[in-house]
Structure 1
Amino acid sequence: MTGKEKLAAALKLIDDAHAQDPKKIEVNGKQQPYELHYSQKMSEYLEMRHPSAPDTLRLAIRAQHLRRWEIPRDSYAMTKVGYHAWRTYLKKRQADMCSQICIDCGYSEDDALRVAHLIRKEDLKKDEETQTLEDVACLVFLDDQFEEFEKQHDEEKIVRILQKTWGKMSEKGHELALSLPMSERCKDLVSKALAGG
């Protein structure tokens, strides 16, 4: 298989898995599995953040939530420790599954290990590609989930979360975030967060 064929085959397997997500959302008047929508948004933002990204980063970005719905949040204790344990387990599981997809599609073991490293978000702040993945995840949150999220929490908590999100991002990520279309309410919350609450 050529490089393009390998990438297409791996992306198809990832998308086929996302398409099994039982949670549906409406996008442009059509029902779509949530994780398929999410992964496509991740790829869209990668194009803005790093259009010349290598296959390994493209695959890690697309597989960020691979089969995540199979391990619901409430399968772990509903505490901060439980949340972190859940996230840690998901990252390892998603990394292992995607790395196997890479091998099955003809990628080298080194490439598969690199994809797994990125999905686990290792060496954040030191590894430029891991940082890119984090930027993209934050941008998708701000673009696609923030308006709904802010309706469910009080302002103090939202401002704190925005500050944490901002702290995870690079300068390039900040530039893209500030160019996102947002409601006046969301813009106001971002301004408060950046002004220190």
Structure 2
Amino acid sequence: MTTTPFQQASQWIDAENAQDPNIEIHESISFPKELLYSNRMYEKLMDFFPSASEEVQIAAKAQHICRWKIARESYPMDRVGYLKWREDLKKFHAKLTAEILEKAGYNPEFIARVSFLIEKKLLKKDQETQLLEDVICLVFLEHYLEPFVEKHDTEKLKNIILKTWNKMSDKGHQAALKINYSPANLQLIKDAIGL
């Protein structure tokens, strides 16, 4: 049975993410953190927009590829340091993914498009960049909001939620309000966005 370039690239992305030394427990099973994130991104994309292009599918899977290799602590612990870290991460994710896609036999145009999406260029203007951002925000709200709630005060949380909300499309907002939150978190989101 022949493997398609998409299957091959997906396997290689998973293999890279499976090396994450950081472990997250989900439903009593231990996962490499970024492999779990990659799976959540892909599943959310296919649920939210099943007809997503192959480029978006790969960009979703590779969004955080090998993220642990560039530690936040290696940058100044201020806003400027944070933004520089995020910018460098995007380039790192795009470059590593491009190398995998080239090895899998994709053409340069396809690879360039995936890099464009991973670097989240033209947010709000490019439909597929916006789609990817919606999925990132939905995955955050569904799976990663709870740990944030435990770490930050209410005002900081409202600010984080509002920033997340403002990055999303109307369709993203509708999907976000259907997520099964705890009553407290649902109230927090409603307070943050003024519902």
TM bucket (normalised to shorter chain) is: over 0.9
For residues 155 and 130 of structure 2, the distance between their equivalents in structure 1, rounded to whole angstroms, comes to 27
Equivalenced residue count is 195
- The equivalences for 1:72-151 within 5 A come to 72-151=71-150
Shift of 1:186: 0.3
CA deviations over 1:27-64 (Å, ceiling 9, x no partner): 22211101011010001110122101111110000000
Q: For residue 100 of structure 1, report the CA deviation from its aligned partner.
A: 1.3
Q: Do residues 50 (structure 1) and 49 (structure 2) align?
A: yes
Deviations 1:131-177 (Å, cap 9, x if unpaired)? 01100000011000101111100000000111110000001100110
Identity %: 44
Aligned AA for 1:124?
L
Q: What secondary structure is seen at the aligned counterpart in 1 of 2:180?
A: coil
Task: Assess if the C-alpha contact under 8 Å between 1:49 and 1:172 holds in 2.
Answer: no
AA partner of residue 95 (structure 1): A
Which residues in structure 2 correspond to 1:1-197 (within 5 Å)?
5-195=4-194
Letter of the 2:51 counterpart: S
The TM-score normalised by the length of structure 2 is 0.97
Residue 25 of structure 1: CA displacement? 1.2
The DSSP-based 3-state class of the residue aligned with 2:30 is strand
The alignment partner of 1:32 has SS state of strand
1:49-86 alpha-carbon deviations (Å, 9 max, x no partner): 21011111100000000111011100000000000000
**Matches of 2:114 and 2:108 in 1, distance apart?**
10
Q: CA deviation digits over 1:114-143, x for unaligned, max 9?
A: 000000000100100000110000001100
SS, match of residue 97 in structure 1: helix
* Equivalent residues of 1:49, 1:132 under 8 A apart: no
CA distance in 2, matches of 1:150, 1:87: 22
Q: Which runs of 5+ in 2 are unaligned?
A: none
Structure 1 stretches of at least 4 aligned residues deviating more than 2 Å after TM superposition: none
In structure 1, how many angstroms separate the alpha carbons of the residues matched to 2:131 and 2:58?
13
Name the CA distance, whole Å, in 2 between partners of 1:107 and 1:164.
35
How far apart in 2 are the matches of 1:168 and 1:40? 22
Contact 1:6 1:105 in 2 (8 A): yes
Normalised by the size of structure 1, how large is the TM-score? 0.96
Q: CA RMSD in A?
A: 1.3
1 CA distance for matches of 2:135 and 2:122?
16
